[in-house]
């Protein structure tokens, strides 16, 4: 009986620790998109998660390890949002729907919940190897997803177009967020969309 109770206590502690870990990662995933990697401090993340600074090392070996997990979470959320858009329309309209959603006004203002590539792209080259690895994997997944929406998926030309598509999408959104001129911001998104849409027809 005592053994069973001890196992239940250990299991409950492990579950609580996992839940806390997931909460920290979720907070950090929002924070890196909002404030950038360099603007995301351990103390601020732990405070926002409702935990003490000292509890951090019970969950992560280093700040870089936390940032890598946060980047992975942000990328997973972004990929899931894109997949939801793709699944909501007929196959022949999926790339257009993906482009319109990505380059929309709504996505422009959803920094905390939006694409981590547009939020963090310029900082990624200066991050630790584990963070860059997550970014690289997500870019490859986005390129593959874009290529899969084309009739000639699997051909070199489809892959090359997908590289240009993802580069244009991310770059346009990054610049549209960077400027303080609303007309220019709209123009950047709309011009990119106009340029990319012929690829969907």
CATH number where 88 lies: 1.10.357.10
Domain count, the chain: 1
pLDDT digits (tens, 9 = 90+) for 66-92: 999 999 999 999 999 999 999 999 988
Instruction: Provide the percentage of residues in the chain whose pLDDT is more than 90.
Output: 80
| Helix, strand and coil percent figures for the chain, each rounded to 5 | 80, 0, 20
Q: Taking residues 3-27, what's their average pLDDT?
A: 78
Domain encompassing residue 156: 2-200
Task: Report the C-alpha gap between 26 and 74 in whole angstroms.
Answer: 8
Let me know: does 174 contact 122? Beta carbons within 8 Å: yes
pTM (two decimals): 0.85
């Amino acid at each position: 009986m005592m053994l069973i109770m001890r196992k239940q206590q250990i299991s409950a502690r492990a579950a609580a620790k996992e839940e806390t870990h997931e909460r920290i990662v979720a907070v950090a995933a929002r924070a890196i998109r909002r404030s950038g990697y360099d603007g995301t401090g351990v103390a601020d993340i732990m405070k926002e998660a409702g935990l003490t600074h000292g509890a951090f090392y019970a969950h992560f070996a280093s700040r870089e390890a936390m940032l890598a997990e946060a980047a992975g979470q942000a990328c997973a959320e972004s990929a899931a949002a894109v997949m939801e858009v793709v699944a909501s329309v007929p196959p022949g309209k999926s790339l257009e729907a993906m482009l319109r959603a990505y380059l929309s006004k709504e996505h422009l203002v959803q920094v905390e919940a939006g694409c981590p590539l547009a939020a963090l792209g310029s900082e990624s080259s200066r991050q630790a190897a584990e963070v860059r690895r997550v970014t690289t994997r997500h870019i490859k997944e986005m390129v593959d997803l874009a290529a899969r929406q084309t009739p000639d998926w699997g051909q070199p030309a489809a892959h090359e177009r997908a590289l240009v598509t993802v580069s244009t999408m991310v770059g346009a959104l990054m610049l549209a967020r960077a400027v303080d001129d609303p007309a220019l911001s709209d123009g950047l998104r709309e011009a990119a969309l106009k340029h990319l849409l012929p690829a969907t027809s």
